[in-house]
Chains A and B, each alone.
Chain A
Amino acid sequence: MNVASPGVEVRRLLKASPEKVFAAFADQLLVAQWLRPSPDVRLTVLAFDFRPGGAYRFAYDVPGAQRVLVGGTFRSIEAPSRLVFSWLIEPPDEHAGIDSEVTVVLVSRGSSTELTIRHAKFGRADADLRHGQGWRGALELLEERLGQEARDGD
């Protein structure tokens, strides 16, 4: 776990144009080929309505484990630089029902693209804190505590 920054954040420099990287998020056939945690997890795209307010639904089949269903809606689409979508895992998963939001930002860097994916979690009841400082502070504290715990365990 990354304890240096609040929340989940993944950043990578990709050798492709922002348009090509954006297409990998926008085109259902491309999405099906990569949006999974590892090659042994199979992704089936059950729904993919790529427009603001449109819904998607993914099924993840992990060998020897229960199928995981994830769904959400596209909240903001600004090709080829920014994409925001909600992310909700369905029951019976242990993390089902927890509203969260994924923000994808693409920045052109010469012949490459800097991709940043941020994933923030919100309880269903505190969605109003989405844009506030409260949430960010909570994550910082959480990571500070977990970092300390990791050191305690050394």
Chain B
Amino acid sequence: MQSEAALDRTFQALADPTRRSMIRALSGGETRSAGELGARFRSAQPTISRHLKVLESARLIERSVEGRVHRFRLCRGPLAEAGEWIGRHQAFWTGAVDQLERLLKEVE
């Protein structure tokens, strides 16, 4: 189970379009180097590096170091955990609207 702070970090990390593109670039499951990921964007290297750090601290990506090359891969766990919040509230409101419909029929 993810803590509330971790869930906040997941959603915060996903709130940036560049970081979402990075996630998409990794979504096939393969690893990519910082250079490969950076080449897709017009941002300076320190900016790319900062985005990667945000994704890493939210545990959305994992870093491995091979010599001087840093490689990244996607971690699926946090995305699924954030989905639990959405699933729970979707079920809550669907059920509540069923109850509301029933109540409106009774008071008709």
Contacts and interface: CB of A to CB of B under 8 A. Distances in A.
A and B are interacting partners: yes
B4 A34 contact: no
A37 B96 contact: yes
Question: How big is the A interface, by class?
Answer: 35 or more
Interface stretch (A47-55, A72-80, A144-152): A144-152
Given A8-B90, A135-B15, A142-B82, A125 B99 contact: no
Interface in A122-149: 122-126, 129, 134-135, 137-139, 141-143, 145-146, 148-149
B86 A7 contact: yes
A123 B8 contact: yes
B8 A35 contact: no
A24 interface: yes
Interface residues of B, number: 42
B96 A8 contact: no
Most buried by B among A12, A37, A129, A135: A37
A12 B27 contact: no
Interface string A87-123: 0000000111110100000000000000101010111
Interface in B11-44: 11-12, 14-17, 20, 23-24, 27
A36 interface: yes
Given A1-B87, A34-B102, A115 B97 contact: yes
Contact of B86 (A36, A121, A123): A121
* 5 A-B pairs closest in CB distance: A123-B8, A37-B95, A138-B14, A34-B99, A134-B15
Interface of B: 1, 4, 7-9, 11-12, 14-17, 20, 23-24, 27, 76, 79-80, 82-83, 85-97, 99-105, 107-108
